[in-house]
Amino acid sequence: MGKKTIGVYWFTNDLRLDDNPLLAQAAQEVDQLICLYCLPSYSEYLKRFTSESHYGSARERFWQQSVASLDQALNEKGQRLVVSQAHPFSALAHLMSNDNISALYCDDFVAHDERLIVQHLSCYFPLVKICQRSQRTLFQQFELPFTLDALPASFTQFRKMVEGQSIALPHCAITNLPAPAKHSLETVTLPEVSVSSRDDFVGGEHFAHAHMMCYFSTSFASRYKQTRNELDGKENSTKFSPWLAVGSLSPSQIMHALNQYEHRNGSNESTYWIFFELLWREYFQWYARKFGVSLFQRKGVQNKPPLTTFYPQRFKQWKMGNTEYPLVNACMKQLNQTGYMSNRGRQLVASCLIYELGIDWRYGAAYMESQLVDYDVGSNWGNWQYIAGVGASRSARRFDQSKQAALYDPQREFVLRWNGNSSVATSDNVDMVDWPKRA
């Protein structure tokens, strides 16, 4: 009998067994499998830019539910999730050094840090086969009608080039997995997390599919374009983004469900707009992949530093929802309590931070990263660059706060619901010592 081969599947933001061809590939190629998940840590970068020390409670609860759900699904297939507090490079390097690993399976990441981890592992462990696949995009890179270097400079150009492309059907659910392998990695136990009626979103593949089926069982999709800019209301937008962000749902699964809905109910401008929004998300996945570390730099991908700086007191008031703009306050309080904010709200609070308060856009992007249950690196940082005029949009995307409030909250219902009427006057106290170094 030959020596058994051992593989590692590194779960990140692909926390699902359905429509996971890379995991199916691993199941076919190795005799034993280690399913690894590394707990996220609050980076020094985030600490610097948010003045916070940990993720928001809603975001943390959602990913804990998502990971626990994955572990349960693996247990039902005779597997288990190996959870480590170590940095992913340290955890994977330990396994490769000590546990006779023959192959690593992981997402073909768009994010710079994860790509760097894989590059370093391939250098240090050249005998370990590394298998990657884009797990969170509609298309694989080879399916794009252009090279990554030639990614269109605007979303509109991108959309026109790809919207006629065929999209692969979701892959079948995995029925069998190799047995778990013994290993020497120090592990931790997942925190117990229950489901509460107070949860706006519940993490996990089961709840992701339940929500998608429920949404497409109604007529909401047929009027999505008319309601998508509403500031609140579960029925006004699809609310798929939290499960997309952690990978409990794939964009291909949503497209398949959308196509089935259109087959049953007919297509219109609203159903097309759901596809449109998936393409918007898709664009920023490849945007992040192309531009790498420039995604996080003040001057953006255009190498054009904006005329903003940092005011600690203003930033604190923006975070807490205590500015002179009631609608912005209401949006920020909704974010802090629920971990979620509407697309329109995100544009308004970003515009306020940059253009009304004069603050470097990176502080807002980092705070959103710390709080959003649907945080996605490309969508978050790419859209903040877009609003700041240093990314996919060459001009500033400044919103008239009074006009927006009159359009989207004319009766002030949203402001009242989230207590957006601030009792704190805007302070312009600026301490030069508090200004960060520009990068």
Dihedrals phi, psi of 109, to nearest 5 degrees: -60, 150
What is the distance between the alpha carbons of residues 224 and 306, in angstroms, rounded to a whole number? 34
Q: What mean pLDDT comes out for the span 200-224?
A: 96
pLDDT > 70 in the chain, percent: 95
Q: Are 170 and 258 in contact (CB under 8 A)?
A: no
- Provide the CATH topology of domain 205-292: 1.25.40
Q: What mean pLDDT comes out for the span 318-336?
A: 97
- pLDDT of residue 438 exceeding 80, the answer is no
Out of 3.40.50.620, 3.40.50.300, 3.40.50.880, 3.30.70.1450, the CATH code matching 6-135 is 3.40.50.620
Model confidence at 194, in pLDDT bands (50, 70, 90)?
Answer: confident
The pair of three-digit structure tokens given for residue 3, joined into one six-digit string: 């020596």
Q: Where are the domains of the chain?
A: 6-135, 205-292, 312-434
Q: Are 342 and 233 in contact (CB under 8 A)?
A: no
- pLDDT of residue 243 exceeding 70, the answer is yes
Class of domain 312-434: mainly alpha
Q: Are 37 and 67 in contact (CB under 8 A)?
A: yes
Report pLDDT digits (tens) over 86-126. 999 999 999 999 999 999 999 999 999 999 999 999 999 99
What is the distance between the alpha carbons of residues 283 and 145, in angstroms, rounded to a whole number? 13
User: What's the CA angle centered on 120, arms 180 and 41, to 5 degrees?
Assistant: 70
Q: Are 281 and 379 in contact (CB under 8 A)?
A: yes
Model confidence at 191, in pLDDT bands (50, 70, 90)?
Answer: confident
Q: What mean pLDDT comes out for the span 278-287?
A: 98
